[in-house]
Amino acid sequence: MLIILEGVDGAGKSTLASAIKKEIEKAHPNDTVEYIHASQIKGTVYEEYVEPLDNYTPASGRHIIIDRWHVGERIYGPLYRDSSGYDASRGSYEWIELFLGSKGARLWNVTQTLEILKERLAARGEDYLQDRHVDYVREQFSTLSKQSAIFANEVSPNEETLQVIASHIVVDAEYAEFRAASLQTYGIKSYVGRTFDDPQTILVVDNKAKNVEFNPEKSDEAQIFLSTLRSDFIQNLAVVSSVSQSALTELLERLSMSGVIAYSETVSARLTSFGINHIKIGEPSEDRMYPTSVYVAAEKAQDLD
């Protein structure tokens, strides 16, 4: 299981993480449970939010609980450093969301009333989050978390509800882990995107080294594509490279309700040879009409038999 707790300082993430850890250890006594507490960003967003989870495999007997991860940088960076680590790479935030989705991650926003937050921060002598920013940061975490492709729910734990919430989070994470692991059986390591339920759209890219996983860090095309599209579209997207016929065909048969779009003539020809129904789009461009062409293609792909 991969559980991410986001939220403003003082909301109770650490306390909830501890309760979740106990729930997992009780349900899976032979498994390992890790706890990560993210601090201020020191490297690139890929070094911070991707590399530590790159070797995590769902359903491997390893569970990770994370106290704040990738959302906070979008809030605290611009607020206290005038920029976000995501500014250095267009599309990086969107891709990290897809990456986390493929791992079966689930994000919970932990929040409290403004009064409770200020009381807690004053009691512990908070010296980073400025008092005048508490409500703004709280609202930003709520807004951005709800826009996330891996968002599960928003909770406000207290002494009476802590264990119930922790138990519910574990049940949710177990299902997410099962779903993510089931897609791995097709042997496609390049898959990034939602797994909790089927994506509405699957983008098939070529299998050149630079496009495997469609990572904006390695691909200009990925930067343009992911930074141009609406967040609600990204939430319902998965990206896979055009690997072997058997693996790709089996995966797309499994995700038969998803519309398939190919992002180049080469990929389209390959899918046609596989007998896979799809809609072709042009390679990503800066043209302002490009997003519209993607949305129209995705809608047409949904209507294919």
> Which residues does 139 contact at the CB level (< 8 Å), separation at least 6?
none
The order of strands in the sheet holding 237-241 is 192-193, 237-241, 201-205, 259-262, 279-280
Whether residue 44 sits in one domain with residue 19: yes
Q: Which helix H or strand E contains 266, and what residues bound it?
A: helix 265-274
Write down the H helix ranges in 82-230.
92-102, 114-123, 134-146, 162-184, 220-228
Whether residue 165 sits in one domain with residue 29: yes
Give the distance, in angstroms, between the CA of residue 134 and the centroid of all CA atoms in the same chain: 25
Whether residue 138 sits in one domain with residue 85: yes
Whether residue 231 sits in one domain with residue 164: no
The span from the CA of 161 to the CA of 97, in Å, is 29
Q: How many domains does the chain have?
A: 2
Whether residue 113 sits in one domain with residue 15: yes
Token pair in block for residue 153: 């729910």
pLDDT tens for each residue of the chain, 305 residues long? 999 999 999 999 999 999 999 999 999 999 999 999 988 888 999 999 999 999 999 999 999 999 999 999 999 999 999 999 999 889 999 999 999 999 999 999 999 999 999 999 888 887 778 888 999 999 999 999 999 999 999 999 999 999 999 999 999 999 999 999 998 877 777 899 999 999 999 999 887 766 667 899 888 889 999 999 999 999 999 999 877 788 888 888 888 889 999 988 888 998 999 899 999 998 888 888 889 999 999 999 988 86
Cα dihedral 87→88→89→95 (10° resolution): -60
Whether residue 68 sits in one domain with residue 31: yes
Whether residue 175 sits in one domain with residue 205: no
Whether residue 207 sits in one domain with residue 105: no
The span from the CA of 174 to the CA of 183, in Å, is 15
Whether residue 32 sits in one domain with residue 132: yes
The span from the CA of 66 to the CA of 162, in Å, is 17
262: domain CATH number? Answer: 3.40.50
Domain ranges, residue 215: 192-302
Whether residue 225 sits in one domain with residue 114: no
Whether residue 17 sits in one domain with residue 135: yes
- Could you tell me which of 199, 220, 222, 218 has the C-alpha nearest to residue 209? 218
Final residue belonging to a domain, choices 128, 162, 184: 184
99: domain CATH number? Answer: 3.40.50.300
The owner of tokens 């986390």 is 100
